[in-house]
Structure 1
Amino acid sequence: MMSQEQNDLISRVGPATAAGKLMRMYWQPAALVDELDGPRPIMAVKLLGENLVLFKSEDGQYGLMDRDCPHRGADLAFGRLERGGLRCAFHGWLFDASGQCLETPAEPIGSSLCKNIKQRAYPVMKKGGILWAYLGEGEPPAFPDIDCFAAPEAYTFAFKGLMECNWLQALEIGIDPAHSSFLHRFFQDEDASTAYGKQFRGTSADSEIPITKIMRECDRPIINVELTEYGLRLIALREIDSERTHVRVTNQLFPQAFVIPMSTEMMITQWHVPIDDENCYWYGIFTSYTTPVNKEKMREQRLELYELPEYRSRKDKSNDYGFDPHEQATDTYTGMGADINVHDQWAVESMGAIQNRTREHLGQTDKAIIQYRKLLRQEIEKVASGGKPLMFLDDANARSIQGPASMDGIGPTKGWETYWMEVDVKRRRGAPWAAPVPSDIAQKISRLTAAE
């Protein structure tokens, strides 16, 4: 268990907090690119507890600035796109994407007032179908050369969803390999031919065994956690028999993302982004290693659950997440339908707006969560002392962060150590785009092969 002070340290991310200072040293997802492609490309954004306005100017530049007009505090999210910038609807003051005031039209002709006025603004970058913002000081870091950024646009799809809880408990469910045997348990297995775009509904690599069957019948995984240059690698082993073991490799990408296999052909890189201390969005980039993503189908599937414009789940605490006791008795472990996003949302929101970790009792299967919290505290302290945290990358280092390897397959009980790497490498080398083989994986395979 931890103290309340320790819990506050790792969960609260406002401007004056230690974890908030850490989080501001990274690019943060601010919106989906699609959200500003409509007829009015201006939207209010709350990010890390700060109220901002995001817009796309008439000449295609993205701007992000404080939401309150520096004149008299009116809401710039109701402004107008004019003359290449954002104009306040109150008195017509005009700002460009850098926050510089260009016009104060109600002032006397010849007034130089606007020259000395600059609204606080932040860099914006478009990448992987997401608009990223940097709220920190100084030059922003480089993006890592991970698969979801390396893949061509046709092979990726971005989406998001709202969670009404603290970002940390939402993240931690993604580095908990044990929960899927219970929370995502299905009592019947689905035809794998209908599994496109769905998680935990297909088959594992090198097998016709449904993943749902493995999770249901092998509920005591052995979990290995490795510290890496990007965060943590998790390897969950579920022994089927003396010859076969289910191997699932996932990753924690510091500070607030995880990378998990969705199917044999697709991977998910998912960030948990604080709106404030009690709400967050998950932003996911789905990356295909085989064929271009059917974006229309993926979007239609997700809009069955998520409602625009807030990307709020139609199943939430207001309707008990669609809970059906008959379904719980006969079809699913939770009784909350087949979409695992609903299961995850119930689990993390039921902990409260900010989980009270002073009352929890962690076990052996929580080793990745324990390791991540230790890493998070370490990096918070590093930044507080003026240092650069893990994954604050320059251009040279960014190119070295590749992958990371992620897979789900049925391999040999003796020899799983090389099996998962071989599956990952085979998928990369067979991809129609240049999916890089991470150097650490290439080196490990070389060493293990030489030792045999």
Structure 2
Amino acid sequence: MISAEQNDLMTRIGRGTPAGQLLRRYWQPVALADELAGPRPLKPVQLMGQHFVLFRDETGRLGLLDRDCPHRGADLAFGRLENGGIRCAFHGWLFDAHGQCLETPAEPAGSKLCSRIRQAAYPVVEKSGVVFAYIGEGEPPAFPDFDCFVAPDTHTFAFKGLFECNWLQALEVGIDPAHASYLHRFFEDADTSESYGKQFRGASADSSMPITQVLRDYDRPDISVEPTDYGMRLTALRKLSESSTHVRVTNLVFPQAFVIPMSAEMTISQWHVPVDDTHCYWYAIFTSFTGPVDKQQMREQRLKLYELPDYTSRKNKRNNYGFSVEEQLNETYTGMGDDINVHDQWAVESQGPIQDRTREHLGSTDKGIITYRRMLVRAIESSQAGEGAPMLIDAQQATALTGPPSIDGIGEGDTDAYWQGADRERRMKSDWARARLGA
């Protein structure tokens, strides 16, 4: 049983909180690169309760600064991008991407004030269409050589969406293999040839059986959890017959990402990033092992549901997530349409802004959640003691972390041998992944 104090320990992420201190030791997504397109590549961002301004200067260099001008606190998000930095609209003070004050034009000629002024600045880097920031102390960890980071730009697509709840309950959906047979149940199977860009709508690998049929007809998965260097691997087995088993391998990458199969050709790497204690963004990088991603189609599919500029779902708690009684009776388990993210959003937002875990009763299928919470608490305690934590890696360690394998398929015989072989076969057929195998 989780106490209220333990729940707060895991969920609260503001400055000075134990979980907040831990998460600040890792790179965190703060924007899509697409959000800096256009004539004014600047946007305000909020991360773990702190406010920043993200921008790209004339040379293409990224900068992330505290949002309040160090002169008199005016909002730099309304500043002017010019002369190698961002200029505050209040008095014209100019700051570069490193936070150095370059000009204080209202001061007397010859003033040296600007040489003594710095705005807090933070490392930022663009990876596969996502801008990551590091707002902790000391040197940031290296990025692992995971598929989503090493695949060519043509083979990745990034998107995001807002959840109005705490980051932890949003993350925990991704390490709960049992829910898919219910929350994402469809009463009829769609044409799998029309499934591009849609999760749980294609066919399982090595089979023509729709994933929707597997989840619907075989709803008692045998779930196992295995510790790994990057976090943990979850394997969900659904026995289809004496000889065949549906195998779904997913991964938790510490501290708050998971890697799951989307289809036979794509995986999804997804982070749940705290905006504050009661809001979070999911950031996803879709990675293709076959041909280039059709980014236009993927984006158009998602913009039918998500509204810019804040990437809020058009189906949300203010309109009951599009709930339809007729649909729930005849088409889907939830009655909330066929988008998987809407189902997840309802599930986690309905738990409240911060789930009260003192009232929950976990079952045997929640072993991934139980394992992760223990891992999280241990890491928080280690961080508080000034010690290490999982995935605080250096460049040499990063090269040893590849994949991680993420498979949804139907095989015969030894299930571990099946998914390992399926992963290698997929990589051998992929130009960019095969090259990394040295084949």
- TM-score category by the smaller chain? over 0.9
Deviation digits for residues 20-58 of structure 1, max 9, x if unmatched? 111111110010011001111111100011011001111
Matches within 5 A, 1:398-409: 398-409=398-409
The residue aligned with 1:448 is none
What does residue 243 of structure 2 align with? 243
CA deviation profile, 1:127-186 (whole Å, cap 9, x unmatched): 111111000111111100000011000000000001000010000000000000000000
Match of 2:311 in 1: 311
- What does residue 54 of structure 1 align with? 54
- Tell me how far apart the structure 1 counterparts of residues 55 and 434 of structure 2 sit (CA, whole Å): 33
Root mean square deviation, CA, Å: 1.1
Alpha-carbon contact 1:274-1:280 (below 8 Å) kept: yes
Q: For each residue in 1:406-425, what CA deviation from the matched residue of structure 2 results, as whole angstroms up to 9, or x when unmatched?
A: 0001111x321211110011
1:330 CA displacement: 0.2
In 2: Cα distance, 1:415 partner to 1:58 partner: 56
In the aligned structure 2, how far is the partner of 1:79 from the partner of 1:189?
52
Partner of 2:367: 367
One-letter amino acid of the counterpart of residue 66, structure 2? D
Retained in 2: the 8 A contact 1:197–1:298? yes
Any conservation in 2 of the 1:223–1:365 contact (CA below 8 Å)?
Answer: yes
Q: Partners in 2 of 1:417 and 1:66 — Cα distance?
A: 48
TM-score (norm 1): 0.96
* Distance (Å, rounded) in 2 between the aligned partners of 1:426 and 1:382: 39
Moved over 6 A (4+): 436-439
Residues in 1 aligned to 2:406 and 2:37: alpha-carbon distance in whole angstroms = 32
SS in 2 for 1:233: strand
Measured against aligned partners, the alpha-carbon deviations of 1:305-337 in whole angstroms (never above 9, x if no partner) come to: 001100000000010000000000000000000
- C-alpha contact (below 8 Å) 1:403/1:437 kept by paired residues: no
2-side partners of 1:403 and 1:150: how far apart?
A: 10
Give matches, 1:170-319, under 5 Å: 170-319=170-319
The amino acid of 1:249's aligned partner reads: V
Within a 5 Å distance, the mapping from 1:83-162 to structure 2 comes to 83-162=83-162
Query: Which residue pairs with 2:40 in the alignment?
Result: 40
Question: Is the 1:425–1:437 Cα contact (8 Å) retained in structure 2?
Answer: no
C-alpha separation in 1, matches of 2:329 and 2:349: 23
Alpha-carbon distance, 1:434 to partner: 3.1
**What CA deviation, in whole Å up to 9, does each residue of 1:348-394 have, x standing for no partner?**
00000010001000000000000000000111111111112110110
What count of residue pairs does the alignment treat as equivalent?
A: 438
Which one-letter code corresponds to 1:356 in the other structure? Answer: D
Q: Could you say which residue in structure 1 is the equivalent of 2:31?
A: 31
- Structure 2: segments with no counterpart, 5+ residues: none
Instruction: Compute the displacement of 1:436 (Å).
Output: 7.3
Alpha-carbon separation, structure 2, partners of 1:387 and 1:216: 45
Corresponding residue for 2:418? 419
Amino acid in structure 2 at the alignment position of 1:193: S
**Is the CA contact (8 Å cut-off) linking 2:289 and 2:433 kept in structure 1?**
no
* Structure 2 letter corresponding to 1:405: P
- Cα distance in structure 2, aligned partners of 1:207 and 1:55: 47
What secondary structure, in the 3-state scheme, does the structure 2 residue paired with 1:434 have?
A: helix
TM-superposed deviation, 1:347: 0.3
Contact 2:223 2:237 (C-alpha < 8 Å) held by counterparts: yes
Pair 1:436–1:394, CA change in 2 (3 A) = farther
